């Protein structure tokens, strides 16, 4: 079985060495970069299966690295941040990152997060029809592809799973906690606001007018649902 490739990006050599040790023990192939420019080079050369990315980097900032890579590929990203406010944590998610870990962190926790994100990316399509077709939106579960009005839309693995869960049961109102469970899994210790950020990003990509959503509707006081219309 081919080992998953992980790129670690942080200017703190001690953190990089420690994380690399734990990931290699867990069976991953690991590449490392200590600045944003090198991170972009390695991401393009090695095509990692996942990137662990610090926010504060020399040369090119971590947020810019995230923004650039999200425009070039669908590689999942776990952000590392020393900031602790909810707004700070959500910045990376708003750019399309799949998860975040706050410093200081347990290397075991980070490895668990890596496993969880890779598991979501590699999950086989659930039982049911290979395609979900609703109005102008087509979700191909086998190809992990979404088309809106005949155009392929690039979604992150988390955005795809979120859309898939909602669209599989049109009209059903999901609470944010239910979506955290369905999309992230029990091992994700996130907060409900995370769901709002991913919904906002999803709407930007699939809705004709994100401010007046056609597909993903807000159920006030509850959460979200996929429109039955």
Structural domains present in the chain: 5-122 (3.40.50.2300), 131-226 (1.10.10.10)
**151, β-bridge pairs:** 148
- Phi–psi pair at 225, nearest 5 degrees: -145, 160
Q: What average pLDDT does the segment 165-173 reach?
A: 90
- Contact criterion met (CB below 8 Å) for 140 and 190: no
Does residue 186 have a pLDDT over 60? Answer: no
- Phi–psi pair at 53, nearest 5 degrees: -125, 120
Per-residue pLDDT band for 125 (boundaries 50, 70, 90) equals: very low
Can you read off the two tokens belonging to residue 188? 């994700």
- Say which residue, 42 or 188, is predicted with more confidence: 42
Q: What average pLDDT does the segment 173-194 reach?
A: 75
The SS3 call for residue 160 is: helix
Which pLDDT score, from 0 to 100, does residue 85 have? 63
Which pLDDT score, from 0 to 100, does residue 219 have? 93
Which pLDDT score, from 0 to 100, does residue 202 have? 92
Evaluate if pTM is beyond 0.75: no
How far is residue 117's CA from residue 41's CA, in Å, rounded to a whole number?
23
Q: What average pLDDT does the segment 29-36 reach?
A: 95
How far is residue 64's CA from residue 51's CA, in Å, rounded to a whole number?
14
């Amino acid at each position: 079985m081919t080992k998953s490739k992980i790129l670690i990006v942080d200017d703190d050599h001690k953190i990089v060495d420690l994380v690399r040790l734990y990931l290699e023990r867990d069976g991953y192939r690991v590449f490392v970069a200590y600045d944003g420019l090198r991170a972009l080079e390695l991401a393009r050369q090695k095509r990692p299966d996942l990137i662990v990315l610090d926010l504060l980097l020399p040369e090119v900032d971590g947020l810019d690295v995230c923004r650039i890579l999200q425009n070039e590929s669908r590689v999942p990203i776990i952000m590392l941040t020393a900031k602790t406010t909810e707004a700070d944590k959500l910045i990376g998610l708003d750019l399309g990152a799949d998860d975040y870990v706050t410093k200081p962190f347990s290397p075991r926790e980070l490895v668990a997060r890596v496993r969880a994100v890779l598991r979501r990316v590699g999950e086989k399509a659930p039982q049911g029809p290979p395609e979900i077709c609703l109005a102008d939106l087509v979700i191909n579960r086998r190809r992990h592809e979404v088309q809106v009005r005949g155009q392929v839309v690039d979604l992150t693995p988390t955005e795809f799973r979120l859309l898939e869960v909602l669209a599989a049961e049109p009209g059903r109102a999901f609470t944010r906690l239910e979506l955290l469970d369905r999309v992230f899994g029990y091992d994700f210790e996130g907060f409900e606001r995370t769901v709002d950020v991913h919904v906002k990003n999803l709407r930007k990509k699939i809705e004709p007018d994100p401010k007046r959503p056609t597909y993903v509707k807000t159920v006030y006081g509850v959460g979200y649902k996929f429109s039955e219309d």
